[in-house]
Amino acid sequence: MNILFYHPTFNPESWVNGLAQRLPQAQVRVWQPGDDAPADYALVWQPPREMLANRSGLKGIFALGAGVDAILAQERQAPGTLPAGVPLLRLEDTGMAQQMREYVLAYVLRFFRRMDEYQLQQQQKQWQPLKPHRQERFTIGIMGAGVLGQQVAQALVALGFTVRCWSRSPKQIAGVESFHGRENLPAFLHETRLLVNLLPNTPETVGILDLALMKQLASQAYLINAARGAHLKEGDLLTALEQGQVAAAALDVFADEPLARMHPFWSHPRVTVTPHIAAVTLPSQAMDQIAANIRAIEQGGTPSGQVDRERGY
């Protein structure tokens, strides 16, 4: 069994060694330009087109993350980047759910306890207690109730918040009101005071976080975007902040990353910027899942995390 590995920034040696330990029968190699030797599996993140195009014999392509929008965009822009008919698989959780729970809870509590405003007051040396938000009037809406969204929702319910979710199909999550489909998006947004975005970036969801959507939220709403920058109309958020429709936002992802030094988000008093770190790929847990999936495929079974290329996630 031959396994190819490519990631623009990860340390390849730890991956090659880790995979070889988990799959002793495999020969694992880092892909180099010009390498068109046979391979059964490819582990990739932002692969150069020549790596996979016209490559036959692959039994599976593993994305080294949860979101596969970038690799599917490569395929749309240069058809054939991904060999047709080869299963594309993504990471499901592998330690990212815990990280995402931490990230979202950190900012939910920051906004719910008005710590963002106390931070601004401190800069003015202003000693001024603020009226606390009331949990029963602080509904949290999660867009994208999948592997990450569901776990975030359950953690927020456990803290006593009123939580609702929006997804393509109905979800059964204890204590969480489920909305699904575009036709029910207005009902989901109505009276939502804090919106968390955990959608995949697909042709259906790109640009979904626009001013028209923000205006459907409760007044002085909060936004946490930990999904993809492509979801957010950045100028619309600045307008919504200026108009008071949105009180504050925590953004981990951006249309262009790294965020340009001159971007207004860096200095905006009610925007918090983090550098796409909400939930990172944890090599050990990722390799455990990938190795298990390879074993499943080798035994004629069904691997987890299979991507529907047409659906986009």
Ligand X SMILES: NC(=O)c1ccc[n+]([C@@H]2O[C@H](COP(=O)([O-])OP(=O)(O)OC[C@H]3O[C@@H](n4cnc5c(N)ncnc54)[C@H](O)[C@@H]3O)[C@@H](O)[C@H]2O)c1
Q: Single out the residue of 184, 229, 221 nearest to residue 205, CA to CA.
A: 229
Q: How far apart are the first and last CA of the chain?
A: 27
> Contacting ligand X (CB under 6 A), which of 201, 245, 289, 293?
201
| Contact between 270 and 241 (Cβ < 8 Å) | yes
DSSP H or E stretch at residue 102: helix 96-112
Nearer to ligand X, 104 or 247 (CB): 104
* 146 near ligand X, rule: CB under 6 A: yes
> Contacting ligand X (CB under 6 A), which of 18, 47, 60, 67?
67
Min CB(63)–ligand DGY separation in Å: 8
Dump strand ranges (E) for the chain: 2-6, 27-30, 41-44, 60-63, 88-89, 140-143, 163-167, 176-180, 194-197, 221-225, 246-251, 271-273
> Contacting ligand DGY (CB under 6 A), which of 18, 47, 60, 67?
67
- 77-106 residues in contact with ligand X (CB under 6 A) are 92, 96
- 265-294 residues in contact with ligand X (CB under 6 A) are 276, 278-279
- The residue type found at 241 is L
| Distances 123 to 108, 222, 231, 269 between C-alpha atoms, Å | 22, 21, 32, 11
Q: Which of 29, 180, 263, 276 is catalytic?
A: 276
Stretch that binds ligand DGY, among 62-70, 134-142, 184-192, 298-306 (CB under 6 A): 62-70
Nearer to ligand DGY, 23 or 96 (CB): 96
Quick check: is 276 catalytic? yes
Three-state SS at 176: strand
| Contact between 30 and 48 (Cβ < 8 Å) | no
Q: How far apart are CA 310 and CA 183, in angstroms?
A: 21
* 148 near ligand X, rule: CB under 6 A: yes
Min CB(151)–ligand X separation in Å: 8
Nearer to ligand DGY, 226 or 240 (CB): 226
Q: How far apart are CA 112 and CA 103, in angstroms?
A: 14
> Contacting ligand X (CB under 6 A), which of 168, 215, 263, 268?
168
Stretch that binds ligand DGY, among 61-69, 229-237, 240-248, 254-262 (CB under 6 A): 61-69
| Contact between 61 and 41 (Cβ < 8 Å) | yes
Q: Which of 228, 270, 309, 311 is catalytic?
A: 228
- 291-310 residues in contact with ligand X (CB under 6 A) are none
> Contacting ligand DGY (CB under 6 A), which of 65, 146, 303, 312?
65
The residue written with tokens 């592997």 in the block is: 147
Q: Single out the residue of 81, 43, 122 nearest to residue 286, CA to CA.
A: 43
Within 10 angstroms of residue 284's Cβ, the number of other Cβ atoms is 11
Nearer to ligand DGY, 121 or 281 (CB): 281
Contacts with ligand X by CB under 6 A: the residue count is: 29
- Is the four-CA dihedral 304, 310, 311, 313 of positive or negative sign? positive
Nearer to ligand DGY, 239 or 281 (CB): 281
* 66 near ligand DGY, rule: CB under 6 A: yes
CB-nearest residue to ligand DGY: 65
Contacts to ligand DGY by CB under 6 A: 65-67, 281
Catalog residues that contact ligand X under the rule CB under 6 A: 66-67, 92, 96, 144-149, 166-168, 198-202, 204-205, 226-228, 252-253, 276, 278-279, 313
Catalytic residues: 228, 276
